[in-house]
Amino acid sequence: MRDLKRILGSAKVVLGAGVLAGGLACFAAAPNARASDDCQERTVKADHKLHEAIQEHGYDSKQAAHWREELHEAREYCWSHSHRWWDVEGNRWHSDRDWDDHDHEHDHR
């Protein structure tokens, strides 16, 4: 009986440590997830505003140039914080810093 109590006590310690480690992992992942959400949101907004500016003012307008710069800055921010960027057109994350190549593929002139 004494051995059973010792085994159950040890199991509780191991289980408690596992729960604590899992909780810490979730807590540590939360800021990273929030940063990804912020990056995605910022990129989607700039991309949307760029398309609106092109539609309303023309591809070569100063408004479109402004939102192209905002989109570039959003991607740079994401890249510097998580080494990836959100592709609005492809609806996915990219792990290569290749958005300039990607933009030329979707040139809407």
Task: Identify the CA nearest to 81 among candidates 27, 36, 43, 45.
Answer: 36
The per-residue pLDDT for range 3-16, each reduced to its tens digit, is 767 766 766 665 66
Rounded distance between C-alpha atoms, residue 91 and residue 44, angstroms: 10
Give the residue among 86, 80, 99 at the shortest CA–CA distance from 42: 86
What percentage of the chain has pLDDT greater than the value 90?
A: 49
Show the tokens assigned to 52: 């609106």
Phi-psi region of 83 (alpha: psi -120 to 50; beta: other; left: phi over 0): left
Percentage with pLDDT > 70 across the chain? 62
With 80 as the cut, is the pLDDT of residue 53 above it? yes
Which sign, positive or negative, has the C-alpha torsion 9, 10, 14, 15? negative
pLDDT at 27 over 80: no
Pick the more confident residue, 106 or 87: 87
Q: What is the mean pLDDT of residues 42-66?
A: 97
Q: What is the pLDDT of residues 65-95, one digit of tens each?
A: 999 999 999 999 999 988 999 999 999 999 9
